[in-house]
């Protein structure tokens, strides 16, 4: 995850999220909406749906990269192909559940050394295993958060996040890593499988 958002950026993100959720809510029955508020359960459902889309693309890219390209990196000190994929798996295991108040998976452990250890085992078979297992864990953990606690604020990275901000922070970060992997693929002559044309 990136550093915490500044207060002005958080306000702008929250305002944009509210506008998006207003449009999202417009398609739902009026009985399920409350004027001026958001429905935390619907936000979670939208978040999990977006995760499905992200996971599909991560897996397609992970399969498209040949095993011998998993150690490729654009420059020294930058994550390799495999390390980026394992970082995504780490976010599934840890940060996605924690942002919603669910426990982190014990698979990774705690602290930066644990994260680095997982990222270091970044072969293609390991990546595919952890992408699938991490995704399954985050889906189950986030879906299992009790409804009455979903709207609570969570403290992460020294700031408080509500369910809208948590959803945007996680999907925004995962989209950033998807873009990173698309760039890695293109540099290596790999066309993202879901794209049309060259």
| Domain range annotation of the chain | 40-187
pLDDT in tens, 41-87: 999 999 999 999 999 999 999 999 999 999 999 999 999 999 999 99
CATH architecture of residue range(s) 40-187: Up-down Bundle (1.20)
pTM for the whole thing?
0.79
Does the pLDDT at position 136 exceed 90? yes
Sign of CA dihedral 131, 120, 103, 179: negative
Q: How far is C-alpha 25 from the chain's CA centre?
A: 23
Which range, of 116-120, 136-140, 167-171, averages the lowest pLDDT?
116-120
**3 state SS of 195:** coil
H or E segment to which residue 23 belongs? helix 7-26
Does residue 62 contact residue 128 with C-beta atoms inside 8 Å?
yes
Mean of all residue pLDDT scores within the chain: 82
Does the pLDDT at position 111 exceed 80? no
Q: What is the pLDDT of residue 38?
A: 62
């Amino acid at each position: 995850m990136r550093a915490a958002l500044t207060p002005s950026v958080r306000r702008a993100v929250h305002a944009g999220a509210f506008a998006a959720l207003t449009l999202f809510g417009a398609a739902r029955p009026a009985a399920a909406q409350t004027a001026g508020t958001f429905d935390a359960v619907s936000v979670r459902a939208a978040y999990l749906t977006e995760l499905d889309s992200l996971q599909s693309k991560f897996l397609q890219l992970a399969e498209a990269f040949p095993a011998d390209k998993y150690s490729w990196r654009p420059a020294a000190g930058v994550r390799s192909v495999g390390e980026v994929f394992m970082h995504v798996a780490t976010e599934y295991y840890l940060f996605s559940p924690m942002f919603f108040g669910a426990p982190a998976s014990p698979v990774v452990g705690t602290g930066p050394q644990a994260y680095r250890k997982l990222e270091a085992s970044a072969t293609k078979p390991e990546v595919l295993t952890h992408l699938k297992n991490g995704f399954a864990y985050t889906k189950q953990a986030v879906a299992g958060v009790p409804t009455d606690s979903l709207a609570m604020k969570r403290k992460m990275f020294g700031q408080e996040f509500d369910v809208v901000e948590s959803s945007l922070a996680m999907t925004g970060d995962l989209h950033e890593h998807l873009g990173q992997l698309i760039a890695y693929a293109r540099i290596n002559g790999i066309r993202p499988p879901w794209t049309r044309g060259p």
